[in-house]
Amino acid sequence: MKRIRIIPALLLINDGLYKTVHFKNPGYVGDPINTVKIFNEKGADEVVVLDITATRDKKPINYRKIAEIAGEAFMPMAYGGGIKTFEEARKVFNAGYEKVILNSSAAENPALIGEIANVYGSQSVVVSIDGKKDWLGRYKVYTANGSHSIGKSPDVYAREMEAGGAGEILINSIDRDGTWEGYDLALVKMVSKTVSIPVIACGGAAGMDDFRKAIVEGGASAVAAGSMFVYQKKGMGVLISFPAQSLKI
């Protein structure tokens, strides 16, 4: 029996937390510091914070805010959004995060992965891959918060990222984001069977059953979710929650 990491994935826009559907229509969830405090009290296994407009709007990383968020989090923390250089990654680590998440910058400048991994270790570099089916049903990788296709298949791309020094892959389905329809298991499996590093499934989870499927059928090592941890139910109000029981498989 292994304990499976269950990871709330929180989306930051400016100073607030939001939740999207298909990467669009961000709905306000609340204050990030309070929210992370609640996840800390509930004993979340790990928390991912993604600034989803940092790259698109070419904003500087909000180091002060992210340090405040991590300040009371006694669990592993990962941050992504707008990290383009080693120096920026260094400042994120110093803000109290053990992992940086690269998305657009990993596609534009894959050497950055190795630069960071050489100093902080590959376990500290997560590459986030946003995947979506095209009109022919083929999976493609998108960057810049889902706005730009790089034309590559997620499995091919994930292997490149692993070879470049990534220690973990976060595979997110744009089609399932915020839908509560379950993970895109074919997408998760496509990536997890290709790489030997841990893969975190993200996008579409509605409950523990989806987590189990992502691990058993999708071959993921960990699971992330947004909506189900910040809303009561689909279409209902904000409620921060986290399963009381560990997931053991």
Partner 1 sequence: MLAIIDYGVGNLTSVLNMFKRLSVDACITSDLETIQKADKLMIPGVGHFDKCMQNFNASGLRPAIEAIKAKGSTPILGICVGAQMMTRRSEEGVEDGLGWVEADTVRFQLDPSLGLKVPHMGWTDVSPANSASPLFNDIPEEPRFYFAHSYHFRFYGEDLTTATCDYGYSFTCAFQRGNIFGVQFHPEKSHRFGMSILTNFAAL
What is the greatest pairwise CA distance in the chain?
46
75 binds partner 1 (CB under 8 A): yes
Choice from 86, 108, 123, 238 touching partner 1 (CB under 8 A): 123
User: Minimum CB separation from partner 1 for residue 134, in Å?
Assistant: 30
Choice from 9, 17, 70, 106 touching partner 1 (CB under 8 A): 70
38 binds partner 1 (CB under 8 A): no
Question: Of the listed 130, 155, 177, 184, which one is catalytic?
Answer: 130
User: Minimum CB separation from partner 1 for residue 141, in Å?
Assistant: 22
85 binds partner 1 (CB under 8 A): no
Q: Catalytic site residue 175?
A: no
Q: List interacting residues with partner 1 (CB under 8 A).
A: 2-5, 40, 43, 45-46, 67, 70-72, 74-77, 93-96, 98, 118-124, 167-168, 196-198, 221-222, 246
* Active-site annotation, residues: 130
